[in-house]
Amino acid sequence: MRRAPIPKPDLRKPRVVFNPIAYRGFQRGVNLIAEAVRPTLGPLPRKVAVARTALSLPPEMLDNGALIARRVQELPRRNEDMGAMFLRHVLWRLQDDVGDGTATAAVLFQSLYNQSLRYIVAGGNPIALRRAFEVAIPLIRSELDAMTFQVQGATQLAQLAESICHDHELATILGEIHDIIGEYGQLDIRDGRRHEIEREYVEGTYWNSGVLSPDMITDHSTLRVDLQDAAILISDLAMKEPHELIPVLEAVRRSGIRALMITVDEMSPSVRGLLLANRRPGVFDLAAVRTPDSRRTEGRMVMEDMAALTGGRPLIHDAGETLNDFSLERLGYARLIWADKTKFGIIGGKGDPRALQAHVNNLKEAFARARDVDERKRLRERIGRLLGGSAVLWVGGLGPSHIEARKSLAIYTSDTLRGILREGVVPGGGTALLDCVPCLRARFEEASDADERAAYRILAKAFEMPMRTIVANAGYDASEVLAEVKLAGRGHGFDVRSGRVVRMAEAGILDSAAVQKAIVTDVISAVGLALTIEVLVQRKDPPVAHHKAAGS
């Protein structure tokens, strides 16, 4: 028998949808995203095939929860679409913030939301439930804090990286890199030149800004200019007239300085000519580069960092300073300053180490306070530049799309490793969340308010779901395994590779504490918010949101 045709929704018609219809539609959307992401949870994930925009191409085979959620751009039913987009946004933000944990978040969200809806439909109070959820967040976070411990060494980091990216070669190299550059170090991830993954460690720091004239390059074998034991004049000035610079060069020369690098926003051809004419290789070396980001706010920060590194005091255009304000005391110094056509770098800055350490500490405090993803990234890059080295990772692969996918993996694995180095690890494989359950059950027993009791009961059940899903995805009976794990006690979990119940920390099966804490906070807050949605308002012409387009 043929099914009855489903009437197509009229997307052009504006609508206001009230509960319980709003809840049901929203819930279907949430479940759709969660079910799409669920198979990817765990070290033995299933793949999700996503059709490409060009239908002639084979589907993408994905096992990254955030990427899968991002590929779902719009659902035909608008109530469902709103639910799906809500969860998609939660997952996307989590990925941006901590780099991992989207599949766990999806599973946890689904369980919390579905259980809570059942309770609300049966007469529970959504506001009281949300309040109880919010009270539970710090409790759970402190439970996770108690389980947290630090990891160190390339081997442990590589093991963790592999549990995130499931790519042994990439994980091994990322483990080594982060063992060296730590949580803040600068890591440049580029397209590889071969099939393999390669890495290089770069001494000192560098910025993407090269020499102002190719004639300033003196070493034609390396195509760069090296200034040894050099002074640096840091500025964002526009140097247009040669006569402005002549007194500076004379003062520098008279002081016995044998090499000078100048950073400027702009330098006229005649001033460049003056520099080249006064250059005496090996006796008085001169070069100039454009100040990185000189025309943006970041330029000021770059100059601050260069000043801290070299002990110089920049000449700042916006402060009304000109070359007339130059004195030798404003120069910074370094063991080596180099530049090529696209970059320049400083090795062994001779700034005051105490001032440099204080500057780094200030940036770290600002980083800890910052909530904006871009600001955190900017601050992290600045800190990394001041710590004396950076790494470059060339990601190779079987073709451009493979390289691109591996680069994405490298970026989010690296972000997660940074979180691990900053905040430590907890027992993995869903064990940390499962080990929060006794504390939630204890609160359930203590609570007298019905909504509060419901909240702790719902949380306790939901916190079993990540382990259940990991076990099920690996092809085991989740109920049977969970019973064994509970019997084994705190810290135990299921190693799906060996098929045994083990002490997870000893087996090296670990999760980032930062990620787990972010999951708990983001998901519980988001579920609380979703539960208080009473009405869905739909527009006349649903616009294609910019962020959806960006996620395609």
Partner 1 sequence: MQEMEEFQDYVYAIAPSPDFVQDGICFVGRKSGLFRWDARSQEWQNAYESLQLPDALVTPAVALSPAFSDDHTIYAGTSGGVLRSEDGGKSWVLGNMPKPPPVITVLLPSPNFAQDGLIFAGSMEDGVLRSPDRGTQWHRWNFGLVDLHVLTMAISPDFARDQTLWAGTDTGIFRSINGGRSWRPLNFPSELAPVLSLTVSPAYPTDETLFVGTEASGLYMSHDDGKSWQRVSPDLFPETVNTILVSSSSGGALHIAVATDDALYVSHDTGNTWHELELHLPEDEGISTVAAPSGVLPGALLLVGITNGQILQCAITSRT
Neighbours of 221 (CB within 10 A): 5
Q: Does 152 bind partner 1 (CB under 8 A)?
A: yes
Nearest distance from C-beta of residue 508 to partner 1, angstroms: 18
The answer, yes or no, to whether the previous bond of 138 is cis (omega within 30 of 0) is no
Q: Which helix (H) or strand (E) holds 444?
A: helix 437-446
Distance between CA atoms of residues 365 and 382, nearest Å: 13
Alpha carbon distance, N-terminus to C-terminus of the chain: 38
Closest CA to 192 of 410, 415, 341: 410
Nearest distance from C-beta of residue 354 to partner 1, angstroms: 5
Residue span 300-339 as binding mask against partner 1, x where in contact by CB under 8 A, dash where not: -----------------------------------xx---
Out of 148, 228, 521, 525, the only residue in the binding site for partner 1 (CB under 8 A) is 228
Closest CA to 410 of 395, 425, 391, 392: 395
**Residue 297 structure tokens:** 């706010």
Burial of residue 185 (CB within 10 Å: 0-12, 13-18, 19+) is buried
Residue 10 vs residues 4, 7, 77, 548: alpha-carbon distances, Å: 18, 9, 9, 21
Q: Does 182 bind partner 1 (CB under 8 A)?
A: yes
Nearest distance from C-beta of residue 159 to partner 1, angstroms: 16
Residue span 411-440 as binding mask against partner 1, x where in contact by CB under 8 A, dash where not: ------------------------------
Distance between CA atoms of residues 30 and 83, nearest Å: 5
Distance between CA atoms of residues 234 and 251, nearest Å: 16
Q: What are φ and ψ of residue 354, in 5° steps?
A: -65, -40
Residue span 77-96 as binding mask against partner 1, x where in contact by CB under 8 A, dash where not: --------------------
Closest CA to 258 of 236, 279, 276, 238: 279
Q: Does 226 bind partner 1 (CB under 8 A)?
A: yes
Distance between CA atoms of residues 479 and 197, nearest Å: 41
Residue span 153-172 as binding mask against partner 1, x where in contact by CB under 8 A, dash where not: xx------------------
Nearest distance from C-beta of residue 344 to partner 1, angstroms: 17
Distance between CA atoms of residues 272 and 52, nearest Å: 51
Query: Three-state DSSP class for 367?
Result: helix
Q: Which is nearer to partner 1, 128 or 360 (CB)?
A: 360
Q: Which is nearer to partner 1, 43 or 388 (CB)?
A: 388
Binding range to partner 1, per CB under 8 A, among 53-61, 225-233, 240-248, 483-491: 225-233
Cβ 420 vs Cβ 512: under 8 Å: yes
**From start to end of 474-534, where are the E strands?**
492-495, 500-503, 510-512
Binding range to partner 1, per CB under 8 A, among 112-120, 165-173, 226-234, 535-543: 226-234
Residue span 195-224 as binding mask against partner 1, x where in contact by CB under 8 A, dash where not: ------x-x---------------------
Q: Which is nearer to partner 1, 339 or 347 (CB)?
A: 347
Q: Which is nearer to partner 1, 167 or 179 (CB)?
A: 179
Q: Which is nearer to partner 1, 356 or 440 (CB)?
A: 356
Q: Does 257 bind partner 1 (CB under 8 A)?
A: no
Residue span 336-375 as binding mask against partner 1, x where in contact by CB under 8 A, dash where not: x----------xx-x--xx-xx--x---------------
Binding range to partner 1, per CB under 8 A, among 54-62, 151-159, 249-257, 410-418: 151-159
Query: Three-state DSSP class for 449?
Result: coil
Out of 37, 181, 274, 523, the only residue in the binding site for partner 1 (CB under 8 A) is 181
Determine the length of the chain.
552
Q: Does 281 bind partner 1 (CB under 8 A)?
A: no
Cβ 133 vs Cβ 409: under 8 Å: no
Nearest distance from C-beta of residue 228 to partner 1, angstroms: 4
Q: Does 179 bind partner 1 (CB under 8 A)?
A: yes
Out of 9, 273, 389, 551, the only residue in the binding site for partner 1 (CB under 8 A) is 389
Residue 489: which residues within 8 A CB-CB, separation 6 or more?
Answer: none
Cβ 62 vs Cβ 68: under 8 Å: yes
Binding range to partner 1, per CB under 8 A, among 56-64, 324-332, 385-393, 490-498: 385-393
Neighbours of 281 (CB within 10 A): 11
Q: Which is nearer to partner 1, 342 or 357 (CB)?
A: 357
Nearest distance from C-beta of residue 203 to partner 1, angstroms: 6
Nearest distance from C-beta of residue 97 to partner 1, angstroms: 25
Distance between CA atoms of residues 440 and 283, nearest Å: 73
Neighbours of 47 (CB within 10 A): 13
Q: Does 388 bind partner 1 (CB under 8 A)?
A: yes
Distance between CA atoms of residues 302 and 381, nearest Å: 11
Closest CA to 516 of 231, 151, 148, 206: 148
Q: Does 229 bind partner 1 (CB under 8 A)?
A: yes
**Residue 403 structure tokens:** 């390289």
Any bridge partners for residue 510, and if so which?
427
Nearest distance from C-beta of residue 186 to partner 1, angstroms: 10
Distance of CA 202 to the CA centre of its chain: 22
Residue 139 vs residues 335, 425, 452, 520, 521: alpha-carbon distances, Å: 51, 18, 14, 11, 11
Q: Does 284 bind partner 1 (CB under 8 A)?
A: no
Q: Which is nearer to partner 1, 203 or 480 (CB)?
A: 203
Q: How many residues bind partner 1 (CB under 8 A)?
A: 27
Q: Which is nearer to partner 1, 180 or 370 (CB)?
A: 180
Out of 139, 251, 370, 387, the only residue in the binding site for partner 1 (CB under 8 A) is 387
Binding range to partner 1, per CB under 8 A, among 74-82, 383-391, 510-518, 539-547: 383-391
Binding site for partner 1 (CB under 8 A): 152-154, 179-182, 185, 201, 203, 226, 228-229, 335-336, 347-348, 350, 353-354, 356-357, 360, 386-389
